[in-house]
Amino acid sequence: MTSYEAPLADMRFLFHGMGNLEAVNRLAGLEDATADLVDAVLDEADKLARERLAPCNQTADRTGGAKFENGVVRTSQGWTEAYDAFVAGGWNSVPFEPEFGGQGLPWLVAVALQEIWQSANMSWALCPLLTQSAVELLTAHGSHQQKSTWLPKLVSGEWTGTMNLTEPGAGSDVGALKCRAEPAGDHFLIRGQKIYITYGEHDLTENIVHMVLARTPNAPAGTKGISLFIVPKFLVDEDGTPGKRNDLHCVSLEEKLGIHGSPTCVMAYGDNEGAVGYLVGEENRGMEYMFTMMNNARISVGLQGVSIAERAYQQARAYARERIQGKPPTDGSGAIIGHPDVRRMLLTMRSMTEAMRALTYDLAAMLDISKRHAEEPWRTYADRRVGLLTPVVKAWCTDVGVEVASIGVQIHGGMGYIEETGAAQHYRDARIAPIYEGTNGIQAIDLVTRKLLRDDGTAALEYIEELQALINGMNARAEEDIAIIRHHFAAAVDALDNATQWLLDAGKDDLAEALAVASPYLRLFGTVAGGAMLARAALHCVTTLQDTSQERTELRDKLTVARFYAEQVLTQAPGLATTIAAGGKTALALSEDRF
C-alpha cells in the first residue's frame, strides 16, 4: 500500500478559492477560523495522518485487526498510540462549544479533518466519528446534568461514544427492537442484546459511553415506543472518574469483509442485575433524538466515500506511473499511465472524487450556517438544504466511493486482486459504507418521501432553481471549456427537473411505483449536484486565470477535470431520467414467488 498525503491543495481550493471558509468564518463565534489558522490545522492533520494513522492501516487489515480474548477487545498494533496522539492534539474537540472543552471551529473544518483521518485509516477513524456524533446528540437533547457529566470527556476524546440500534431481529426496521428498560429510581435497568456495535468494546480509552435505544414498560409499539438511554461501560463517581463496572459486556466480534481493524461487537446488556441507563429527554422520543446522532454520522459516512476514493486514486496514480506494460500510443515514460484507457480511468476517479468532496464540504458549510447565522430565514434555508442533501451525500458518495475503489483495482490489473498491494483493501473497506447508517435504499426512500413528497418539492425545486441560475450565469462566457460544461450541465439539470416533477405527480397516485425508482433518482440527484460543484469551480478557474498574468497550471487542470466530468459523467443524467419516467411498474410486475 502506498503512503498517504492529504489533498491539501484541493481542500484549500474549496476553502479559499470557492469561498467556503469565507462563508462560515463571518458567522457568530467562528470569526477566529482565519485562513492562516485553518491552513496550519490542515498541515498538522496531514502530519498526524502520515506519521500515525496511515502506517498501521494495512498492518491491521492483514493481521485480522482487533482481537477478542477472555472478554477483552484489544485493538491493532499502533492503534492506542495513534489515539493518544489524537486526543493530546485536541483533534476530537474541533467543532464543539468551548463550554465543554471544544475549540469552536466550523464543522466545515471538522469535515475536512475527518476526510484526512478516514483516508489514512478508515477502520481507526470510525471510533472518533461515532464519538463526535454522540456529542452532537447530547448537546442537542441531554439535560444540563448529563452534559456536565458526559460531554467534557467525550468532547476531549478521553472517553468514546457508540450508537446502539440494531438487534438480531431489528435491523433497518428499528421499531421491532426488543431491548427493555425498567425504571429503578433515578435510572433504568437495561436488558437486551445489540449487534453491529462499532467500537462497542476496545482498549483505547478508560470508559465507553453507549447510546442505547430500548423500550420502557407499556411503551407503544413501533418507533413511537422507543426511548434513548446513556449506558456507560463504567458508572461515574461523584468526582467524575470511572467507578463500578456496569452490567454490560462484549459477547463476540463480527468477522467482516473489510474494516478489519475496527471491532464490530455483539453487546449484551443486563445479563445479571441489569445495566444502569440514564434516560435522555422524554420517554418514547428516543428515535427522534437518535436521528440527531444518525444524521451527523450520515454526513461523515458519506465523507468516507470521498476518503476511500481519494486513497484509491492516490494509489492507482502511483502504480500507473511506475508500472511498465505494453507500448502506450502516447509519448512518455512507457508506464501504463500513457495508455488512453488508463488515463480515462484515472480521470474518472479524480473527477468523481473532486465532485464528491466539493459537494460534501458545501453541505458542511450549510450545516454551520444553519446553526449560527444571525438571521432566522437564513438558518431555515440552510437547514432545509442540509436535510435535502444529507441522504444524497450519504448514498451517492458511498456508492461512488465503491466504484472508484473498484476502478483502482482495475488499474492495478492482476496485482490489484492481490492483497499485497493494498488496492483490494480499499475496495473491501469501502463496501460497508453504502450499508450502515441506513442503507442507501433507505436514503433514497428518505429523499423521495420526506424530502420531496412531504413538502411538495419545496426544497428540491428551490435547489433546482439555483442550478438554473448557475446555468444562466455561464451563458455570457465565450470560453470553449465553459460552453461545453454548460451544454451538458444544462441537459443534466433539465433531466433532474423532469424527474422531480414526475415523482411529485406519481408519488401521489402510486407510492410503490415511485419508490421503485427512488434509487435511480438519488443517483441522478447526486450526479447533477456533483456536476454543479465542478461547474462552479470551472467558472472560478476561468475568472481567476483572466485576472492574473501568471500561468496557473493547477487551475487549468481543474478546468480539464470539470470538462471531463461534464462529458463523461453528466451525460448519464438523461438516461437516469428516462429510467425514472418509465416508472417502477416493471420492477413490481413479478410476484414474490416468481423470483
Active site residues: 437
Contacts of 507-510 spanning 24+ positions with Cβ under 8 A = 507/448, 507/449, 507/452, 507/453, 508/453
Q: Phi first, then psi: what are they for 208, rounded to 5°?
A: -130, 130
Closest CA to 65 of 220, 264, 239: 264
Cα 296 to Cα 111: distance, rounded to the nearest angstrom: 11
Count Cα neighbours of 434 within 13 Å in the Cβ-side half-sphere: 18
Q: Which three cell numbers stand for residue 542?
A: 476561468
* 273 neighbors 189 (Cβ within 8 angstroms): yes
The set of residues, in sequence order, having a beta carbon less than 8 Å from that of 24 and lying 6+ positions away, is 30, 33, 106, 108, 365, 368, 369, 372
How would DSSP label each residue in 546-589?
Answer: HT-SS--HHHHHHHHHHHHHHHHTGGGHHHHHHHHHT-STGGGT
Q: What does the radius of gyration of the chain's CA atoms come to, in whole angstroms?
A: 24
Torsion of CA 60, 206, 301, 26, to 10 degrees: -130
> How is residue 15 annotated by DSSP?
I
Measured at the alpha carbon of residue 4, what is the angle toward residues 418 and 157, in degrees to the nearest 5? 110
> How is residue 510 annotated by DSSP?
-
Query: Regarding beta strands 160-164 and 208-214, do their DSSP bridges make them parallel or antiparallel, or are they unpaired?
Result: parallel
3-state class (DSSP) for residue 517: coil
